[in-house]
Amino acid sequence: MTGISDEAYMAELLKNRNFALLWTAVLVSGIGDVLYTVGIMVTIFERSGSALQAAGVMAATLLPIFLLSPVAGAIIDRHSCRRVMVMADLVRATLVSLLLVFTWSGPLNLWLVYLVVAGLGAMTAFYTPARLAILPAVVNRDQLAKANGIMSGTVQGTQAFGYILGGFLVVWVSLRALVLLDLLTFLASAVLISAIHLGVTERERRTQQAPDVSLWQSVKDGARYLRHHELARTLVTMEWLEHVPHGVWTSALMLVFVEQALNAEPQVWGLQNGAFYTGVMLGAVLATAVSGIIMRWPGRIIIINAFLMGLLTIVYVQTASVTVTIVISIMYGPTFALRDVAQNTLLQTSVDEDKLGRVYSLREMGWNVVFLLSGLAYAALVDLGVPVRAVYMLAAVGYLLTAVYALSSRALRRSRIGAVVVIGNP
């Protein structure tokens, strides 16, 4: 720990022009995106009354990520992360424009919505790994934990604001207005990212010096690298396993829990989502404050918080109080944020920069398909009449089993960040 306050670290990082541009782009696009998601989910659920159809939006989003992530990672490692992000933003803006036209031309067609959402998911397969992979080139190595904490807090802060506001806006504002806002934020993000100037980064220099191989060979090389990197493999596998229970936290299933288990209105759903992301935002602030501990014991932080996720879910399932569920939702936040910051910083400091895009893409591919299948399975169970509380209890068991897997990894338990060599790095 350095004794520098969190505000001073934030100010110091924002003096970095490139970090300030990246941070602002994430802030702007995040708000519009979550308002759009809230509008789509609520509109479909209210028109169909089916958790499974509302979860179809999740399927349309995640399936393209699963299919495209291996190729996306190889492309990211071959090209500038900045250019990949700008391309993704512009394509997403075009797709949202099409959805805007659909909302003006007549009644909302569910299949057209699914197609547009699938296109947005395809671009996410490029954008998210590129955003994560670019950070080591934007800030110094000793600033990564702080930078990850600030970025995580910003992402979740926009989610908190968006869900709280969105829960009320869906009553007062048309879906068309929310889609228009999303379009403007994608365009703004593209402009901001395009203004980032990094020169030739270390990862690009290594890529230029590497032998010219086919795209498919690059994909296979990335998978082979991950398979032989003990720590990265453990982190990625844990992420995949954890998204089995994560499937109960889809917007559609949470809406069902609020309406059926708590007998509450959709506004409570918005408050729960907002409470969770507020907690994550606070957790990200905490992560910046304890970055020295994260650098020293990242694996232990990940393991402890994995167990906490299971215990908190058990409490969430057992209560009938709206207030208690909101408090638990807030408590999830720091648990998620500390784990997320520790995991990303471990990956960014232990994985070769010219492989980072592929490692992140493989991680995204795995957790997206697991999240998709588990979310659909949970929604199907609810539609078949299984009590929603029983479904959530099943997820709690999944969290505890994931924590046991993490605890069994020696590489994760003994991992360090910084001057100390990270165990498991080949």
Determine contact, residues 148/341, Cβ cutoff 8 Å: yes
Give CA–CA dist 208/259, Å, rounded. Answer: 55
Q: Is 248 a member of any domain?
A: yes
Kindly tell me the sign of the dihedral angle through the C-alpha atoms of 31, 35, 40, 46: positive
3 burial type by CB count under 10 A (0-12 exposed, 13-18 middle, 19+ buried): exposed
Separation of first and last alpha carbons in the chain: 28
Q: How far apart are CA 160 and CA 281, in angstroms?
A: 8
User: Is 1 part of a structural domain of the chain?
Assistant: no
Please state, in angstroms and rounded to a whole number, the distance separating the CA atoms of residues 95 and 93. 5
CA angle, corner 337, sides to 304 and 13, nearest 5?
130
In a domain, 417, yes or no: no
Q: Which long-range contacts (CB under 8 A, 24 or more apart) does 101-107 make?
A: 103/174, 103/175, 103/176, 103/179, 104/176
> Is residue 250 a contact partner of residue 379, using CB atoms and an 8 Å limit?
yes
- DSSP secondary structure string for all residues of 85-146: HHHHHHHHHHHHHHHHHHHHHSSPPHHHHHHHHHHHHHHHHHHHHHHHHHHHHHS-GGGHHH
Three-state DSSP class for residue 214? coil
- Report pLDDT digits (tens) over 297-312: 999 999 999 999 999 9
pLDDT recorded at residue 55: 63
- CB burial class (10 A; 0-12, 13-18, 19+) of residue 284? buried
Per-residue pLDDT tens over the stretch 191-250: 999 999 886 655 555 555 555 667 888 889 989 999 999 999 999 999 999 999 999 987
Domain of residue 242, residue span:
6-201+214-412
Is 421 inside a domain boundary? no
Residue 366 lies in a domain: yes
CATH number at residue 222: 1.20.1250.20
Give the angle subtended at the CA of 116 by the CAs of 110 and 122, to the nearest 5°. Answer: 135
- 98 lies in some domain: yes
- Cα–Cα distance measured from residue 302 to residue 292, given in angstroms and rounded to the nearest whole number: 15
pTM: 0.78
Cα angle for residues 191, 192, 197 (degrees, 5° grid): 110
Split into its structural domains, the chain has a count of 1
Among candidates 182, 360, 163, which has minimal Cα distance to 279? 163
* Sequential pLDDT tens for the chain (426 residues): 444 455 666 677 878 999 999 999 989 888 777 777 777 776 676 666 665 666 677 778 878 888 898 899 999 988 889 999 999 999 999 998 888 887 776 666 777 888 888 898 899 899 999 999 999 989 988 888 888 888 887 877 777 676 667 666 666 767 777 788 888 999 999 999 999 988 665 555 555 555 566 788 888 998 999 999 999 999 999 999 999 999 998 777 888 888 888 888 877 877 887 787 778 778 878 888 888 888 889 999 999 999 999 999 999 999 989 899 999 999 988 898 889 899 999 999 999 888 999 999 999 888 888 988 898 899 889 889 899 999 999 999 999 999 999 999 999 998 988 643 333 444
Whole-angstrom distance, CA of residue 409 vs CA of residue 422: 14
Q: 45 burial class (0-12, 13-18, 19+ CB within 10 angstroms)?
A: buried
User: Which pLDDT does position 419 carry in this prediction?
Assistant: 41
Asked whether residue 207 is domain-assigned, the answer is no
Q: Which residue has the tokens 């932080």?
A: 301
Q: For residue 132, which of 112, 147, 121, 111 has the smallest C-alpha distance? A: 147
Contacts of residue 160, Cβ cutoff 8 Å, sequence gap at least 6: 273, 274, 275, 276, 277, 278, 280, 281
Q: How many helices (H) and strands (E) in the chain?
A: 18, 0
DSSP 164-208: HHHHHHHHHS-HHHHHHHHHHHHHHHHHHHHT----S-HHHHHHH
Q: Is residue 120 part of a domain?
A: yes
Residue 261 host element (H or E): none
Q: Say which residues have a Cβ less than 8 Å from residue 362's Cβ, sequence separation at least 6.
A: 69, 70, 73, 222, 223, 226, 236
